[in-house]
Amino acid sequence: MGMLATLISGLASGETVAAIHRARTAAIVYAIAMAAALCGLVFLVGAAYIWTAMRYGPLAAALGFGVGFLVLAGLILLIYRISAGSRARRRAQRRNADMKAIGITAALAVLPSLLKGKGGLGVILGPAVALAAYAIYRENVKSDDLDESERR
């Protein structure tokens, strides 16, 4: 209840509106700065093209810049594809850790009420033993699968 009261008082005092205004202003400033940086980059590429065209000719400069940008695009895509696997593994690990934390939190939240109930300790030990047996089974199945794949 205290958190709700803090949220309502924050809304009433205008702190939230001020924070949203500051965030919106910062986003606009960063967007303008990014547009200016992009314009500067375009002019630098244009200047490099003009210099190259004066030195090697317009056709050679256009071909060189075209091939250079295609190679750059290919490298960017290649790096992205290579790193996609590691990003997927990190997401899976984070998701598993979050699910374990939620499960442990839920179990700890329910534990006092289970201990007070009719079944008492038996209500907790039964599923815990079944869970341990399942974990042992999964561990053995994984190691058997690895042994079979190594034999092939």
| CA–CA distance, 114 with 132 (Å, rounded to integer) | 19
Give φ, ψ of 107 to 5 degrees.
-65, -45
36 to each of 24, 31, 40, 46, 60, how far by Cα in Å?
19, 9, 6, 15, 29
Model confidence pLDDT, tens digit, residues 1-42: 566 666 666 666 677 777 788 899 999 999 999 999 999 999
* 82-132 confidence digits (pLDDT tens): 898 888 889 888 888 888 888 788 777 777 776 676 666 666 677 777 888
